[in-house]
Amino acid sequence: MLVEEFNEADRTDVVASLRPCLDIERWINEVADSRPYPDLDALLDAGRQAADPFTADELEAALAHHPRIGERAAGTSTAARLSTAEQAGLGAESPAIAQALADGNRVYEAKFGQVFLIRAAGRSREEILAALHARLSHTPEQEERIIGEQLREIAVLRLEGLMSQ
């Protein structure tokens, strides 16, 4: 989809196309309702700035749709396919690192009560594992801020991908 098509599309279609990027209603509405965009950069900037900051409830709802890092997303939805593609770089590497990610996920979830979220695209398992271990020392407030940042990075990457289809 081109930015021009996005600008001219029916609002219902725009909302449906944005939902797999980031399923936070306020973010979707702000990006959809700020049309028209002069170019892709302006659209991506809007995606970076919309609904800032996210509320705790918005973060919790968005995290409910994310699989554990290193695991395949369930289902065949667009969001599940995007998540699988984003984690493609976490493929057949060391079983020890895969186990360390699984163990780290459990420790993180026990501490924070939610899945560990990181933009996986472009990162190796080793980088993600190092980030997971570093983030275990954070407070819940620090993690909430980081999760919001990671959700935005993921959303903007997905939005950029949507515009290249």
CATH assignment of the domain containing 19:
1.10.3330.10
Q: Which residue has the higher pLDDT, 1 or 22?
A: 22
Check pLDDT > 90 for residue 44: yes
Q: How many domains does the chain have?
A: 1
Residues 92 and 113 sit within 8 Å (Cβ to Cβ): no
d(CA 99, CA 115): 16
CB atoms near residue 1 (< 10 Å): 13
For the entire predicted model, the pTM comes to 0.85
Give the structural domain span for 19.
3-163
> Given this model, what pLDDT does residue 93 score?
63
